[in-house]
Structure 1
Amino acid sequence: MQYYKHTDLKEKSKFFPRSMISAEISTFDKMVTREMEKMKIGKKSNLSKKEREALDELREDDSIIIKPADKGGGIVILSTERYEEESLKILNDTETYIKLRKDPTEDTVTKFHQYLDEGEITGILNDKEHKYLKILHPQRPTFYHLPKVHKNPENPPGRPIISGIDSISSRVSEYIDKLLQPIVLKTKYHLKDTLSAIQELEKISWQEDYILVTCDVKALYSNIPHKEGMESIKKHLEGEVDIPPEQKDFILQGIKLILENNYFSFNKEFYLQKKGTAMGTRFAPSFANLYMSTWEENITENKEENIILYQRYIDDILMIWKGGEEELVTFLNQLNTKDPNIQLESTWDRSTIDYLDLTIFSEGNKLYTKTYFKKVDTNSYIHRDSCHLRRWLEGIPKSQFIRIKRNCSKESDFNIQADRLKTQFSEKGYDERSLESTKNEIALMDRNECLKYKNKITKSLDYTTMPIIFSYSQQDREFRKIIKKFWPILCEDPILQEILPPEPRIICRGVKNLKSKITNSEYTAKRTQNLNNPFKQNTGFFGCGNCISCRSTGNSKRHISTVDNRRGKWKIKDILTCFTPNVIYLLICPCGLKYIGRTTRALGIRIREHVRNIEKGMETHSVPAHFKKSHNCNPRNLQFMAIKKIRNNKRGGDMARKIGQEEMKCVYEFDTLHPAGLNMEFELCHFL
């Protein structure tokens, strides 16, 4: 049997061991939940009321678009007209983009699924890879651009980005990148990052007739022709003996599929990128790196005496040239004739130059470096009062002082830049004494240790180190105390006691920040404030009193705007009827017990099913089983109402997962889990 090279890609486990929930696990769950419900959510917000109101106004303001700057860490506020004008200027480049007549998602999904199914049949993809790569509910990619204020602060051009998270090609792109990355690392002139650039510069003995040169490839990602790009990948794959020929063809087919189906939406219109690859797709850097590697073949031929150093980080080239400037200009002009798609914008100087985040300069026979700060750089470090874990916040200054230590060859430069860094963090609310202490600690470090890559230690799966993960909140300390308090109960479980540590390992994930609240990759010309209720009618559930569901349960015509829940009153914010699909609904038994359910069909259809099951006395579901036991299989006086309309993301996605999550949230909000209500279990699978 042919051996194929496999990756570690696989779906996250959604397994929930219902049959293995012991008394200890159940008790731990109940005790922790009860203690958390007692907590007072009285922590003061780190935003004032006026700040929250301003945030809401910004989010709802149709006249402006807020985006992060392409470089420098700043925030750019553009008029909606200016943003759309620049977007259309980019998209009207007919050599790169073409407008489509309709949404191509359905046809594209079919193509990718056929490709992946063939990969599984041949054995190129194993079962885990196939399940991971085959997205059943993809999102449509969307276009946006980042303003290049470093190019023109008054009228910034845009860097086009395709947001393709969970798109049909996103995981195939990830798979291909996994296979191409090892090849990229073996290419001759590849720079991994700033550290590898410093390591190369440390080897240079500087001479007076040397010239520092940097070149930027103009719009590399969007300028790579598909045919030539594919040929470059094919050429690099030929040297990979551990990848069988059939798998090489499969990789090339996948790249072709991604490139030829690189569609996206902008302002409700659909476009196809017919040249280059989108910034945002996972394999784009590998694709660009290997194309540049092919372009670089024989680049130093007959120039060995002139080219002292040649290295490249994707589209940023660093050279050291020996000789005169006229010869250098001639050489650079020759490079610009090698490939019409590769055009270099070059800068050179005999003493100092900026490259990546470094300023490189010469003194005597040695090259030195220090951190390069762009003119458009802003103080974008996170504020000390931001809603994040304290330990995480406290680690940020230290990591930045270490970066300065690594970049600065000279101690005097470190001291100057460290003082600047200290001032910036002080402006963000960090303690000055702590900053001074951290600065002095890093100053004493051996810089040579900063110039080494850390060895990655591959660890086998150790269940004793498996963490408890939850989203950070201002109640973090209380959460940790509660979990630690009841941890011994969990350790009494016959199976878990063999693998659980004496103390729980608790990790917090980040929460939504201001950026996520006021920026959006999806653009529409007009963001109507309430598209779901444009005429501002009264919201609530409007029961008709006349459909089969209403008549069989004895529900008359009614309007319900609020309903009791564990927090007090639940306000129904939509206009809902017996015929509304995709809703969370509430059943109220004649004895007062409640049940929360979900349906993607019209509500009345689902209620009729409940009624039939009650009348038949079925015991396979908690609602009819309760009515058989307590109400003689009679559905009369069963109240029902829709309480929330679930709308899918405009870009698509998994509706069943979303409605399942909302149902479980309502199960908690209305306290309907058995024995308090008729919901028999909390379905965690929707959140896994």
Structure 2
Amino acid sequence: MLDRVLSPLIQKTKSYLRDTSDFLGKLDALGKVEGTIWLATLDVASLDTSIPHQQGLQATELLLVNSGIYNKDEIIFFMEILKHCLAWWRYIDDVFLIWRGDLDSLSAFREAINNANDDIKFTMTADLHSVNFLDVQIIRSQDRFLTRMFSKPTDRNQLLTFDSFHPPAVKKSIPISQFTRVCSTVGKRLVRTDMRPPQRQYTFLGPPREGMFRCKGCAQCRFVLTGDSFCSMVTNRTYKIRGHHSCETSYVVYMLVCPCNLVYIGETTQRIRDRFSQHRSTVNTKNSVLPVSKHCLEKGHSAEDLRFRVIQHVPQPRRGGDRVMLLKRTEVQWIHRLKSLSPNGLNRDFDLHLFI
């Protein structure tokens, strides 16, 4: 209730800042600023816990009745401030200040406002050339101000993974909104520089790299064939791997490769690392029925000699349907495409009835 009553009144004060755009507009409206000036920011230390209750009530009452009764000493003090203070803009407990004069007079001003109340204290940062305020760095350039993006060292922008279940439009809008923010905040001469921020800030914006990668957390990682493509020894063609896959990926068509460079194409709804572990188990138990273990038994290969990669992930159909059936059909297509039927590969056959 108190916020609803006071917010409209606070917004009418000359020092009020609505947001970064409002701050940039006021900064631009200053025009040319000549002479020696200090750019400074003030921050109220622990504002919410520092406001004395009784004095807060008095200030609220004063604001509500719009009273402006000052004695002579107060007027002299305020007039002295106006000689030096070119701008005083506040966003909640953060204040941006442009001070004409030397650092001693600015420090004296800070001491004066700190001595006004025993509970509310201001911390200050001041510099002749640049200062950081909100998410903006303000830079003094001759008689103008330049602005650029600013983020604290503790900021972390990895907010959303691309494979989340958010609507595609939401994920695609993130880069647009980020670059729009750069263009609206940064001066024209600095836009090109700020368009290339540290990579860590924007890695969450786009999709992860395509290809097969190790999860770096399982016993099967050392058997992974990494990369974003693979070459068939039979067709002599190179195939791109679409999507980002690791040992954790499920519902995949995968490829096993033996030391003879023969391949086996299979499908699984399990995590690929679990399925590969089963293949290794059949080799270790000398299973002479299944094609991969039988080949290893005949050629003297061990389970340590096998390697694997994911070649395609089959997602859940958006409009519904049998995902497992789609997975099996995709397996058949890859067996045919790579010509992995024996004797060119380790697959025995495939089922064309899946397409009827």
TM-score of the pair, normalised by structure 2:
0.53
Superposition map of 1:425-444 within 5 A: 425-426=202-203, 428-430=205-207
* Residue among 120, 124, 134 paired with 1:342: 120
Contact 2:158 2:203 in 1 (8 A): no
The aligned residue for residue 368 of structure 1 is 146
Asked whether 1:301 is paired with 2:127, we answer no
The aligned residue for residue 178 of structure 2 is 400
Q: Distance in 2 between matches of 1:341 and 1:325?
A: 25
Task: State the one-letter code of the partner of 2:19.
Answer: D
Shift of 1:299: 7.1
The aligned residue for residue 231 of structure 1 is 58
Question: Residues 369 and 297 from structure 1, CA distance in 2 versus in 1: closer, same or farther, beyond 3 angstroms?
Answer: farther
Shift of 1:303: 2.0
Superposition map of 1:449-468 within 5 A: none
Q: Distance in 1 between matches of 2:175 and 2:92?
A: 29
SS at match of 2:160: coil
Q: Distance in 1 between matches of 2:143 and 2:52?
A: 43
Name structure 1 gaps, 5 residues minimum. 1-174, 241-295, 433-473, 480-688
Bigger Cα displacement from structure 2, 347-356 vs 420-429: 420-429
Q: Distance in 2 between matches of 1:390 and 1:362?
A: 41
Q: Distance in 2 between matches of 1:348 and 1:476?
A: 58
Q: Distance in 1 between matches of 2:200 and 2:45?
A: 36
Shift of 1:176: 3.1
Contact 1:300 1:307 in 2 (8 A): no
Q: Over residues 534-567 of structure 1, what are the superposed CA-to-partner deviations in whole Å (9 max), with x where a residue is unaligned?
A: xxxxxxxxxxxxxxxxxxxxxxxxxxxxxxxxxx
Shift of 1:319: 0.6
Task: State the one-letter code of the partner of 1:185.
Answer: Q
Shift of 1:177: 2.0
Asked whether 1:418 is paired with 2:195, we answer yes
Shift of 1:338: 1.1
Task: State the one-letter code of the partner of 1:316.
Answer: D
Q: Distance in 2 between matches of 1:193 and 1:298?
A: 32
Contact 2:174 2:205 in 1 (8 A): no
Question: Residues 431 and 206 from structure 1, CA distance in 2 versus in 1: closer, same or farther, beyond 3 angstroms?
Answer: farther
Asked whether 1:194 is paired with 2:20, we answer yes
Superposition map of 1:558-637 within 5 A: none
Contact 1:217 1:344 in 2 (8 A): yes
Asked whether 1:206 is paired with 2:33, we answer yes
Task: State the one-letter code of the partner of 2:18.
Answer: K
Q: Over residues 403-453 of structure 1, what are the superposed CA-to-partner deviations in whole Å (9 max), with x where a residue is unaligned?
A: 111110134x22222222777434554389xxxxxxxxxxxxxxxxxxxxx
SS at match of 2:173: helix
Superposition map of 1:161-310 within 5 A: 175-204=1-30, 205-239=32-66, 300-310=78-88
Shift of 1:300: 3.9
Q: Distance in 2 between matches of 1:427 and 1:310?
A: 37
Contact 1:401 1:421 in 2 (8 A): no
Contact 1:385 1:429 in 2 (8 A): no
Shift of 1:322: 0.6
Q: Distance in 2 between matches of 1:369 and 1:346?
A: 20
Contact 2:175 2:205 in 1 (8 A): no
Q: Distance in 1 between matches of 2:150 and 2:75?
A: 31
Task: State the one-letter code of the partner of 2:187.
Answer: S
Task: State the one-letter code of the partner of 1:194.
Answer: T
Q: Distance in 1 between matches of 2:48 and 2:317?
A: 43
Task: State the one-letter code of the partner of 2:41.
Answer: T
Q: Distance in 2 between matches of 1:199 and 1:373?
A: 20
Asked whether 1:324 is paired with 2:150, we answer no
Shift of 1:329: 1.1
Q: Distance in 2 between matches of 1:320 and 1:233?
A: 27
Contact 1:381 1:425 in 2 (8 A): no
Q: Distance in 1 between matches of 2:161 and 2:125?
A: 36
Q: Over residues 186-209 of structure 1, what are the superposed CA-to-partner deviations in whole Å (9 max), with x where a residue is unaligned?
A: 122111111111111112323231
Q: Distance in 2 between matches of 1:476 and 1:300?
A: 70
Aligned residues: 208
> What is the aligned-residue identity percentage?
27
Q: Over residues 12-48 of structure 1, what are the superposed CA-to-partner deviations in whole Å (9 max), with x where a residue is unaligned?
A: xxxxxxxxxxxxxxxxxxxxxxxxxxxxxxxxxxxxx
Contact 1:360 1:369 in 2 (8 A): yes
The aligned residue for residue 520 of structure 1 is none
SS at match of 1:196: helix
Q: Over residues 213-264 of structure 1, what are the superposed CA-to-partner deviations in whole Å (9 max), with x where a residue is unaligned?
A: 1111111101111111112112222249xxxxxxxxxxxxxxxxxxxxxxxx
SS at match of 1:394: helix
Shift of 1:476: 11
Q: Distance in 2 between matches of 1:208 and 1:477?
A: 65
Q: Distance in 2 between matches of 1:310 and 1:189?
A: 6
SS at match of 1:207: coil
Question: Residues 353 and 234 from structure 1, CA distance in 2 versus in 1: closer, same or farther, beyond 3 angstroms?
Answer: same
Contact 2:132 2:150 in 1 (8 A): yes
CA RMSD of aligned residues (A): 2.8
Structure scoring higher RCO (CA < 8 A, sep ≥ 6) equals 1
Q: Distance in 1 between matches of 2:110 and 2:196?
A: 39
Task: State the one-letter code of the partner of 2:50.
Answer: N
* Residue among 169, 176, 180 paired with 1:391: 169
SS at match of 2:145: strand
Q: Over residues 294-325 of structure 1, what are the superposed CA-to-partner deviations in whole Å (9 max), with x where a residue is unaligned?
A: xx999743222211111111111111111111
Question: Residues 400 and 338 from structure 1, CA distance in 2 versus in 1: closer, same or farther, beyond 3 angstroms?
Answer: same
Question: Residues 195 and 421 from structure 1, CA distance in 2 versus in 1: closer, same or farther, beyond 3 angstroms?
Answer: farther
Question: Residues 208 and 234 from structure 1, CA distance in 2 versus in 1: closer, same or farther, beyond 3 angstroms?
Answer: same
Q: Distance in 1 between matches of 2:19 and 2:147?
A: 15
Name structure 2 gaps, 5 residues minimum. 68-73, 210-314, 321-356
Shift of 1:368: 0.8
Question: Residues 356 and 202 from structure 1, CA distance in 2 versus in 1: closer, same or farther, beyond 3 angstroms?
Answer: same
Superposition map of 1:30-49 within 5 A: none
Contact 1:206 1:362 in 2 (8 A): no
